[in-house]
Amino acid sequence: MNMWKECKSLQEELVKTRRELHQIPEFGFDLPKTQAYVIRILEELEIPYKCSSKDSGIIAEIKGEKPGKTVALRADMDALKIQEENDVDYKSIHDGFMHACGHDTHITMLLGAAKILNQHKEDLQGTVKLLFQTAEELAKGSQVMIEEGGMDNVDAVFGQHIGSIMNKDIPSGKVIIVPGCCMASYDRFSIKVNGHGCHGSTPEKGIDPVNIASHIVIALQEIIAREVSAVKPAVITIGMIHGGVAYNAIPSIVEIEGTIRALEEPVRQHLAKRIKEISEQTAKTFGGAAEVEIDWGAPPVTNDNEMVELATNAAKEVVGETNVVTEIPAPNMGGEDFAYYLQKAPGAFFFLSSSNPEKHTDIPHHNPHFNVDEDVLYKGSAMFVKIVEDYLK
């Protein structure tokens, strides 16, 4: 059918859509402006949809004229709590929030694909589900989408991520698709260290949670150094430590937060188990106590080999064989809650590079200066359309 080729004609429209979405970033599960924007376009296209009863997620459906399989395409919609520092006329109008991970483009590219697919629904043999998901940054939105029926009767699922997330040296416009595990699990942990506050001049009268927290931070790194095989990638990172109100006072509480990443579920479970044990026992050693919470995020993203082959062949058509990367030195240690969809149906998660130093779009994700090379937007839409063509043919 080659309907994917029509996506190029949408490029100017896609840029406009992306910039409008970029200005209204919202965080977490409640994305009222973003939801309203997507609904408006779906209604203009006369694509039926239903809204989640639990968050701002949207499930839309394009039914082909002929019966067949059902394929799901996913876009995440949430932004980050980051103050944008880009000097552009489409800068975020929501103070303290920014689309610093490209989710505005994910929505845009899926809406573009939806427009073309809907125009050709009489040629489709099967159904296309469009999943507009919240709270990917919290690793929770895909689970809500699944609870709301997003993956009911789905035979295959596909998603993509824009930017320089895999490697900033991969030029803009290239598509990266790899079999097996392509992204790590990601979970958050918090440790509340309880001591007993006192004056800084008489530390013997209290129990110092700052000292305990310091020992815990150092001890946790020994899990990676001495308990996990060197050939099994794993990460424990402390991102936040809070405690104290005065330079000369020992506080009663210090709070620690961090993240764990792993490529294998047994390693993931071991990290969580040992963080709890080491924190509690270290605190006890110094006379304090530690309360540990593991906020489970998402498991590793593991692609289905058959769906990877299908997506790879689609990419070779859309961007050309020389612009398709099928091998990387190691999986990315970033995480994605798309992993939960892959537990429900075979599928593939792939990456569209927008890294272009000349346009300053090679800046890392989650950075206040993050931006994308908008010239690739139609390629993302075309990838979705071509995958649907090939899967439902």
- Collect contacts of 80-83 with beta carbons under 8 A, ≥24 apart: 80/25, 80/27, 80/137, 80/366, 81/27, 82/366, 82/367, 82/368, 83/368
Q: Are 193 and 283 in contact (CB under 8 A)?
A: yes
Q: Is 366 labeled as ligand-binding?
A: yes
Q: Is 242 labeled as ligand-binding?
A: no
| Per-residue confidence (pLDDT) for residue 152, from 0 to 100 | 98
Cβ atoms within 10 Å, residue 200: 14
Q: Is 185 exposed, middle or buried (0-12, 13-18, 19+ CB in 10 A)?
A: buried
Its CATH class, for the domain covering 185-298, is alpha beta
Instruction: Assign 199 to helix, strand or coil.
Output: strand
What sign does the CA torsion over 89, 95, 97, 100 have? Answer: positive
Contacts of 336 by beta carbon, 8 Å cutoff, 6+ apart? 136, 159, 161, 183, 298, 301, 349
How many helices (H) and strands (E) are present in the chain, helices listed first? 9, 16
Q: Are 354 and 373 in contact (CB under 8 A)?
A: yes
Question: pTM for the complete prediction?
Answer: 0.93
CATH topology classification for 3-173+354-392: Aminopeptidase (3.40.630)
Do domains 3-173+354-392 and 185-298 share one topology? The answer is no
Which parts of the chain sit beneath pLDDT 70? 1
Q: How far apart are CA 360 and CA 339, in angstroms?
A: 30
Q: Is 137 labeled as ligand-binding?
A: yes
**Locus of tokens 């918090």:** 190
List the chain domain ranges: 3-173+354-392, 185-298
Q: Is 161 labeled as ligand-binding?
A: yes
Q: Is 277 labeled as ligand-binding?
A: no
- Return the ∠ at Cα 109 (arms to 106 and 114), rounded to 5°: 120
| Per-residue confidence (pLDDT) for residue 393, from 0 to 100 | 87
What sign does the CA torsion over 14, 20, 23, 25 have? Answer: negative
Q: How far apart are CA 123 and CA 176, in angstroms?
A: 29
